[in-house]
Chains A and B, each alone.
Chain A
Amino acid sequence: MQDDVILKMRNIRKSFGGVHALHEVDFTLRRGEIHALMGENGAGKSTLIKVLTGVYQKDEGTVEIEGIQGEANIRSPQDAQNSGISTVYQEISLCPNLTVAENMFIGRGKGAFTDWKSMNTKADKMLRELDIPTYATEQLGSCSIAVQQMVAIARAVDMECKVLILDEPTSSLDEQEVEKLFKLMRDLKAKGVGIIFVTHFLDQVYEVCDRITVLRDGGLVGEYVIEDLPRVKLVSKMLGKELDDISDIKGEETGKAEDDGSVPVFEAKGLCSTEGIKPFDFYIKAGEVNGFTGLLGSGRSECVRAIFGADKVTEGKVKVKGKEVTIKKPIDAMKLGIGYLPEDRKRDGIVSELSVRDNLILAFQVMKGFFHPISRAKAEEYADEYIKLLDIKTASSETPIGRLSGGNQQKVIIARWLLTHPDYLILDEPTRGIDIGTKIEIQKLALKLASEGKSVTFISSEVDEMLRTCSRLVVMRDRAVVGELSGSDLNQTKVMATIAGGESK
């Protein structure tokens, strides 16, 4: 093994029930480098990482780790830890019922007893060093998701590992926290730790990484030094095709922003819910795509949840097509022609063990009523129609939705709402955690719906995505609406300035 190489994976193969998830994949990690592992959903990134961390057993191939003679035999997460590999997973894998300190230290070290005192002191010290706003003795479940994620990172950092795997750690962090994380990563890099960084955010890759390995469809595309691979090329490597339309999908159509005096499809005055957002006014017209923007936690999701009745609405007047209505529960909104794709696909969107078909017809079925089930044949028809329409990649309509990749799950949820033929569709982070190809498809779809005279509210963490799709942006800060931008104001600088607030012009 060369001197600076600390991890060498060769010819890794893994298949699930005959389907190849990984096919002869090589991966090399050197000391003191941050190595991005890139690929679309279903490319095999997660599988590769799970093989490395012992969650899955590889079918074939070799793994060599510096300091371990011969082939490293990693059969469980515990083995991985002992071999100097620590991991921070995308979904927080800590125990909510234990304290912060316990979560940092459990499953590690020798001896049968727990030394609470030294553990708490050590944990508090680390928390302070990393500037994480919590205490060692706090129950983890009562911390915010971002803090929990930081605790997971703190745990991984403390393990004096040789290899640190960060599997989409930034998806629940805000910008400041991401900065903190990057600083930490650079420090570790200086200490000689090799870091594997998985993310969907291209900006972040180019900010911190040294090398990129790209996977596609379970196979290796190649390993590149970052300077040799400009963004456009990276994207085309990931997609396996040249990308021409990534920058401008909106085209010439933007003219709907001005107030043309027509009655809004949906209008709210002083709307407020139990989730602690300040009362806000909002309207959307037919054929319009608008959006809520703001930092994570600024209240953008809470706003649309209030519109849909997903949270308990405490006050406010709501008009749909000029008629005053009350929306207390989701079903009320659905009956008024509103659809809502929730932010958290896993928690609020999919019904994982049910088939694609059942997931697809669910909302429409509920609207038809308890005593009017859709016949099997009809459901099959709908499912086939939308699987084709949205190009959903699934073995069959019988496949449980949980087995699909993230992007395809999201498409099923979109299909679920399209089937109800809503006049007004709310898409809350429809592009989060899914591959670029699908992201563009979804953005295109929003614009297509608008051109058909429907209204769409679009929320995304990525501002350029919003700029591409929306003709009007409602900007949020600290759980209140702080501005509205349209027309020529719709540019990156202006939006950023409004989000940041203060005196900055």
Chain B
Amino acid sequence: MKRKKSLSDTNLLLLITIVVFFVMYISAILFLKQGFLKPQGFFNILNENAYLIILSCGMSLVMITGGIDISVGTLTALICMSSAVLLDMKGGNVVEAILLSLAIGLAFGIVQGFLIAYLEIQPFIVTLAGLFFAKGMTTIVNATQFNVENEEFKALKATRIIIPGMGVVNRKGIYVPAYVEIGVIVALVVVAILFVILKWTKLGRNFYAIGGNAQSASMLGINVKKTKFIAYLMCSVLASIGGFVFFMHAGSGSPSHASGAEMNAIASSIIGGTMLTGGVGNIIGTFFGVISLSTIKNIVTSLGLDEAWWTNITVALMICIFLLIQSLVLKRKAAQKK
């Protein structure tokens, strides 16, 4: 018998995402040049979206288990505001701020995870309540935007990690090195860790199993409730890390920070090949999903269509196209099976 290797759904969707990203980026370099040609153009995409990469990783995780968490965006805002208040008004230091962020994330994760996993309440409703709660709490903590003046924090925010060999010489003949912010390193580490968890650990495979069929997974001896709980806990903790990364990038607290980030995270996950129905998805795809989304926005701006509505419409169009491709590909695969 000849061995026929067929791509799993997860890998197939991942492949599509990566190919589309490269086609998009390379054609941007060829036709638009501008910022796309310089390495720093790419690194800026990372700098601006480090937080979103982390949020999307958490989102992908719960989506793989067949759930959703729409509280991550407002949770980010709450983390920023709380940290900012701690640093500037309560005289805290950066370590305390990080610990506070993690504690908030942990608290959210425990409550939401418990309600969803152990009380079996629909995740959409629980995390919607989470969204409302974080939103309200942010303004209760402090209602207005303000920049953080804490020196320690400002130093952290200004830290740049130089990428050797990627810099360019500008018009004045000065060498400008390429750099990324600390957040990017955090994001990449998160991506790597989650990749390993999802691919190589039993916990990770259990996420896929309960997303594929929760009832079967339970029959197979997996503790579905515990696994679900961990997924939501991880998602909220990742949101708090992402929140702090956002805070390091923005350097301020504001109720309107990261608004709509939950939808961007969902969109990135979808573009990255994670399916809302659960059981299918990949962290690498999610990473590419985030940078694809950002690249398309940059392309639209470069084309001179800088009114906000064009970006939104293009992003929507892109999601639409991706969904159609995925739907057609999977349909075709299902047809081939017969």
- A positions within 8 Å CB-CB of B: 53, 55, 76-78, 80-81, 87, 89, 92-99, 102-103, 106-108, 111-114, 116, 133, 135, 137-139, 142, 155, 275-276
Contacts and interface: CB of A to CB of B under 8 A. Distances in A.
Given A113-B202, A114-B202, A97 B220 contact: no
14 contacts: A55-B219, A76-B221, A78-B223, A93-B216, A94-B220, A95-B216, A95-B217, A96-B279, A98-B279, A99-B8, A102-B205, A107-B221, A112-B202, A142-B6
B203 interface: yes
A196 to B, nearest CB: 16
A98 B10 CA distance: 10
A474 to B, nearest CB: 23
Contacts of B221: 76-78, 80-81, 106-108
Contacts of A102: 205, 209
B6 A139 contact: yes
Contacts of B209: 95, 98, 102, 106-107
Most central of A94, A106, A155, A275 by chain B CB within 10 Å: A106
A155 B216 CA distance: 13
B208 interface: yes
Contact of B338 (A92, A107, A275): A275
B211 interface: yes
Interface in B1-41: 1, 3, 5-6, 8-10
A139 B8 contact: yes
Given A95-B212, A107-B222, A113-B200, A142 B337 contact: yes
A139 B334 CA distance: 12
Interface residues of B, number: 33
A75 to B, nearest CB: 11
A138 B279 contact: no
Interface in B119-157: none
Interface in B172-221: 199-206, 208-209, 211-213, 215-221
B223 A76 contact: yes
A107 B212 contact: no
A96 B212 contact: yes
Contacts of A89: 219
Given A102-B205, A106-B206, A137-B5, A97 B212 contact: yes
Nearest to B219: A93
Contacts of A80: 221
A73 to B, nearest CB: 16
A94 B209 CA distance: 9
A199 to B, nearest CB: 19
Contacts of B217: 95, 106-107
A107 B213 contact: no
B68 interface: no
B280 interface: yes
Nearest to B222: A107
Contact of A93 (B3, B5, B215, B280): B215
Contacts of A92: 216
Contacts of A95: 208-209, 212-213, 216-217, 220, 279
A76 B222 CA distance: 9
B279 A107 contact: no
Nearest to B277: A97
A491 to B, nearest CB: 35
A111 B279 contact: no
A103 B217 CA distance: 9
- Would you call the interface of chain A mostly helix, strand, loop, or mixed? loop
A314 B108 CA distance: 56
Contact of B222 (A53, A78, A116, A137): A78
Given A106-B209, A112-B203, A97 B216 contact: no
B191 to A, nearest CB: 19
A413 to B, nearest CB: 24
A97 B219 contact: no
Contacts of A98: 205, 208-209, 212, 279
A138 to B, nearest CB: 7
Nearest to B213: A95
A77 B222 CA distance: 8
Contact of A112 (B3, B201, B215, B279): B201
B274 to A, nearest CB: 12
A230 B217 CA distance: 40
Contacts of A137: 5
Given A55-B218, A89-B219, A113-B202, 19 more contacts: A77-B221, A78-B222, A78-B223, A81-B221, A95-B220, A96-B212, A96-B279, A97-B9, A102-B209, A106-B202, A106-B205, A106-B206, A107-B206, A107-B217, A133-B1, A139-B6, A139-B8, A142-B6, A276-B338
A139 B330 CA distance: 14
Contacts of A53: 219
A78 B9 CA distance: 28
A46 to B, nearest CB: 13
Most central of B212, B219, B222 by chain A CB within 10 Å: B219
Given A76-B223, A98-B208, A276-B338, A111 B202 contact: yes
B207 to A, nearest CB: 11
A114 B197 CA distance: 10
Nearest to A137: B5
Contacts of A81: 221
Contacts of B280: 97
A94 B216 contact: yes
Nearest to B8: A139
A372 B218 CA distance: 44
Contacts of B201: 112-114
A492 B133 CA distance: 71
B200 A114 contact: yes
A135 B3 contact: yes
Closest 8 CB pairs of A and B: A107-B221, A95-B212, A97-B212, A97-B279, A93-B219, A93-B216, A107-B220, A78-B221
A53 B218 CA distance: 11
A133 B4 CA distance: 12
Contacts of B208: 95, 97-98
A102 B5 CA distance: 16
Nearest to A159: B221
A155 B9 CA distance: 23
Interface in B224-251: none
